[in-house]
Structure 1
Amino acid sequence: MSIDATKGLSLPVRRVIACIGIVVFLAIYVVIVSSIGERLPDNDLVHLLYYGLSGILWGIPVLPIISWSENYKGRKR
Structure 2
Amino acid sequence: MSTDPRPAYKPSWRKPVGMFVILGLIALWAVLVGSLSALIGRLPMMVQVPVYVFLGLIWIWVLPLKRLLAWMETGRWRGF
TM-score (norm 2): 0.66
Q: Which runs of 5+ in 2 are unaligned?
A: 1-9
Structure 1 runs (4+) greater than 3 angstroms displaced: none
* Corresponding residue SS for 1:46: helix
- Residue pairs, 1:23-42, within 5 angstroms: 23-40=23-40, 41-42=42-43
* Aligned-partner Cα distance in 2 for 1:63–1:37: 28
Q: Percent identity?
A: 18
* Corresponding residue SS for 1:12: coil
* Corresponding residue SS for 1:39: helix
Structure with greater contact order relative to length (CA < 8 Å, sep ≥ 6): 1
CA deviations 1:14-48 (Å, max 9, x no partner) are 11111000001111110100111221233112211
In structure 2, the partner of 1:16 is: 16
Matched residue count: 65
Q: Say if 1:29 and 1:58, in contact at 8 Å, map to a contact too.
A: yes
Q: What RMSD over aligned residues (CA atoms) do the two structures have, in Å?
A: 2.2
In structure 2, the partner of 1:57 is: 58
TM-score (norm 1): 0.69
Question: Of the two, which has the highest radius of gyration?
Answer: 2
